[in-house]
Structure formats: C-alpha cells, structure tokens
Chains A and B, each alone.
Chain A
C-alpha cells in the first residue's frame, strides 16, 4: 500500500466511497432495503476485521469468534430487559464482559496450538451457545427481543437508520485504523513474528504467550462491541448468533477477502453477504434457462453452490480477493 495509485487502493477507495454514500442513495431513492443490508455487512465486517487481527496477523485460527458477537449482544439485550437502556452503560459493560471472557478463553486455549487450538475454541464457543439456550429468563432457545435500542441522549439516535449506519461505519473505520496501528507497532511485530516462527521468537527472547493473549483479548473486545451494534441493528439477540457456523462465516469473510490484509475482511464481508443475496437469484436465472418450471425452486438451494465455492477459494485463491487484485496488478 505504498504506491498511492494502484489497483488495490483504487478498489478499496471505491468500496469505501460506495459505503460512505450509501445513505445518500437510500434517501434519494427511498429504498432502505440496501441500507439495512449494508448496516449488517458493515457490522460483520468489523467483527471480521477483529478476527483478522488474530487469524491473519497472529496465525491463531480461532473457530469461536462469533461468541463475542453473542456476548456483546446479550449484554445489551439483558440490560435492556432489566430496564437499563443507557448506551453509556450498556456498551462499556458489553466491552468489559467480552474482554474478560476473551481473557479466560485465551488463557486456556493459547496453551495449545495448531489443530487443538481450532477444536478448543470451537468447543468453548459451543459451550456459550448452550449457556445462552439455558437462559430461560432471557428467551432461551427463542432469543430475546430488544424493544428499545441503546439510548445515547441527544448525542446519537440509533433508531434513525442513517445515523445508525454512519455510527457503525465509523466504528468499522475506527477498528481498521486501530488494527493498522497495532499490527505495525512493536506489539504487532511480535504477533507477526510469532505467527511466522513462534519457536524462534522464544529463542530470541520473547515470551510470546502474553502478547498473543493480549492480542486475543483485543480482538474479542472489538468483536464484542460489534455484537452490541448487531443486537441494536436486529432489535433481537438469540443463541443462533453464536452458533459455530457463524464463526465459520467470519473465517470465510477473512479468508475470502484476504488474510492479513487490512481491508481484506471488509471486502470479504461485502463479497460473502452480497453473494448470499444474489446467489439464489443467479441460480434461479441459470436454472430458468434450462428448465423454466424449476427456476424458483432451484434458487432455494444456493448453498449447494456456495459450499464448494469455499473449497475452490481454498484450493485456488488462497490469498482471497486481495491476493487476486495484487496478482492482477503485477500482471
């Protein structure tokens, strides 16, 4: 990203411009569907960016990152149900609880590496999923409706679609900026070094465990904040947010966009969610050409295309979209 004018930066600038101008488009056309979709995309992009910090830069393949989306969301939901509506209370509590849980999970999981780490983060995430199901007072399996979004006095009104979107967008940009500072700082060099060669890091004098743990906590905290946003967006929180397939989706976003690339998770989030919206339509259209009567039905089975697509990305486009752009740029 040193050269000011290259394909990648033009592409990213384009994406950011579209994201920034989206509410204007919505206001002009009165079509708020896209704004709602993109609010979700922006929030999940923030979660994916936080995952990229540990996955892409730190090499920690956490398969339980969606837990923090749930934690952040449940803190907002539970406080709201108990009558505490102020966002000035809800959000700091969401952040603090996420940080504490990340500290606990990280301290246990980071004792292991490789495939153990993957399975353990997955298992602990499942534990929180079941705990949420067990919370009868807060909806259990059915989830919890949030009747009133977090209140910030006159500062910002989360019920305004436009204001809420811009708030989420600002948080996303803030997260990206934070990750950028972090990964280039001394701390970030330790994290990258331990991904590259953890044993050597020990040999030259870094006790890497504590750095990785802090990194894990930062990522979990940022994702918890995204969870608080998500709960406000959907006015609802349920165990499904923490289901392990949601963690899988976050990993897909990171890899699809480009691991260890600053804007990769954002691009990946946009790509995956737009794909989820358009793939059914696309399949219907293709099926319609062959067998018009089956067109609508075929669209329902879009995941049968999406699944193998992940496999193809893994096999042939390991660097994700960012990697492809870099390749095209080099010629």
Chain B
C-alpha cells in the first residue's frame, strides 16, 4: 500500500512534467498552428543550462532562474530566426524543419558540453524524505516539483484567462485575422508565445535535471509522451493537457510498477516477466487508441477546431 501511494506520487510528478511540455506545445499549436518537434530540444537545453549555471553560481535556485531566462531567450531567438518562416505553411514543412532543428541542437549540445552528459546535485536539505501521510515518506524535492508545477499551471491559467495578453492569446487562437485587424503587433505576440512555450519546456527540463542524467536526446522520448497527452486531452486545450497529463503519468508509472505482478496472477512467472515490461509500456498508447475510437477529437476538444 505504501509502495502504491509512492508510485502514485511518482505518477503525478511525471504527469506534471508532461503537462509543462504539453502546455507549451498545445499553446504554440493552438495559436500559431505550428507543430514543433524541437520542443524537446528546449527541454534538454533547460536541463543543460540549469546544470551549468548551478555549477557556476554554486546555487541551485540561482542556476534554475538563469536557466529559465536562458531558455526563454533561446526560444525567442529560434522563433525569430527560424520558426517565423514556417507559419502558414504545411504541417509537413513544420515537421521537417523542426526535425532538422533537433539534429542541430543535439549536435550543438555535443559541441558545447561534450557527449558525456552532466549531473546536477541538489542542496542537502532537498534530498531528505518528508512524511506526507502517516507512515509515507517521499523525497522533498519531488514534492517541490509537484507544487512548483501546480503553481505554474495556476499562473498559466490566470495568464490565459484573466489578463489582456491572455485575451490576445485566446483571440489569436480563434481568429488570427481579427487580432491582426485590431492593430496588435502579431509578430511580437507570436515571439512571446513561443518564448513562453520554450520557457515552460525549459522549466520542465531544469526541474527534472537533478533527478536524472542530463544528456543528449533526453527531450525526444518525453516529447512523444507529450504528444500522447495532447492527443488524449484535445489539441489546443490547456485544461485537457492538464487532465490528460496526470492520467498518462499515473497510468504509465503505476502500470510499470504493478502490471508485471498483476500478470503473474494469470500467467506463469516466466511469461509474466517477459510480457510485463512490453505490455506496461503499451498501456498509455492503448489508452490513446481507446480515446481515438470513442473521442477522435480528444477529451476536451476546443470549439471551432
């Protein structure tokens, strides 16, 4: 039981991470109609920046802040140099162009930081486990991740639903021409939105950096999970991304932890231990297939899309 609660918390934490990525992707897609495969590269950059700046400043918090700013700047620069030219084009063009960007960023990181990968160590007090429920201990840092992401999700909600810039974002999502006609600098708006998406991805990366090895290509597999989240949640819907991210995080984590044991009840232990890992890695894709069959537009389809 304790193990189960711990796994659930891990699932929520993965879900939070996926939400940060999916929210940026879905925002960028919803507003600029742009499919950005290189989103995972920004996640990777966030992690590398955090590891580097934390080592330079000798402070995790300062490193994280600098990394956040750095990914924001890189994101806006990428938008101005490359992405801007892809708006209004075929989705296939987006896919190819941003696929090229992934190769570019992977190689760039290899040039700057070398092929070995990095680690980022946390301050001592972050490493201890705290009691979250009677008898349940959970690493403090993972709780920090969950809480920090919840705060970001809330801020994002307030930004999109309650502020003037959020109104522009929502208007842009539903009616490009109208925003242009209002005389709003749509180019700047797009750059800001892309930067925001990049910062979200960078935030996910830097928060994750202390838990796993910072390495080349770390953003790619998680990006595909973020796609699954978007498909399940419905493209363009941040609320859908949030719900679906937690779903996917939970199912994936808990499935991997318990499915092999569960199979052992029905199959020989030999068959179970060979089928278990394969089957549990399929779970979220099966969920996606089910959603596709019954709700091809996702759980929270945005109106008019």
Contacts and interface: CB of A to CB of B under 8 A. Distances in A.
Q: Are chains A and B touching in the complex at the 8 Å CB cutoff?
A: yes
Given A114-B91, A313-B96, A130 B282 contact: yes
Contact of B231 (A120, A126, A301): A120
Interface stretch (B3-11, B162-170, B179-187, B289-297): B289-297
A126 B224 contact: yes
Contacts of A245: 99, 102, 220
B292 A108 contact: yes
Nearest to A61: B92
Interface in A311-331: 311, 313-315, 318
B277 A116 contact: no
Interface in B265-305: 273-275, 277-279, 281-282, 285, 288-289, 292-293, 296
A136 B274 contact: yes
A273 B11 CA distance: 41
Interface string A227-262: 000000000000000001100100110010000000
A306 B107 CA distance: 10
Contacts of B100: 306-311, 314
Given A108-B293, A127-B281, A133-B281, A122 B224 contact: yes
Interface in A125-158: 126-127, 130-131, 133-137
Nearest to A59: B92
Contact of B96 (A136, A303, A314): A314
Given A137-B274, A314-B86, A130 B281 contact: yes
A248 B235 contact: no
B220 A311 contact: no
Contact-residue size bin, chain B (C-beta under 8 Å from the other chain): 35 or more
A133 B281 CA distance: 10
Contacts of B91: 61, 114-115, 118
A203 interface: no
Contacts of B99: 245, 248, 251-252, 307, 310
B74 interface: no
B108 interface: yes
A304 B109 CA distance: 10
A304 B111 contact: yes
A196 interface: no
A119 interface: yes
Max count, chain B CB within 10 A of own CB: residue among A116, A135, A302, A311: A311
A68 interface: no
B131 interface: no
Contact of A304 (B95, B107, B230): B107
B292 A127 contact: no
A304 B293 CA distance: 41
Interface in A82-101: none
B210 interface: no
B97 A134 contact: no
A112 interface: yes
Contact of A314 (B97, B103, B108, B224): B97
Given A111-B296, A112-B296, A120-B288, A130 B97 contact: no
B191 interface: no
B207 interface: no
Interface in B187-246: 220-221, 224, 227-228, 230-231, 235
6 contacts: A130-B278, A244-B224, A304-B103, A307-B101, A307-B103, A310-B99
Interface of A: 55, 61, 63, 108-109, 111-112, 114-116, 118-120, 122-124, 126-127, 130-131, 133-137, 244-245, 248, 251-252, 255, 301-304, 306-311, 313-315, 318
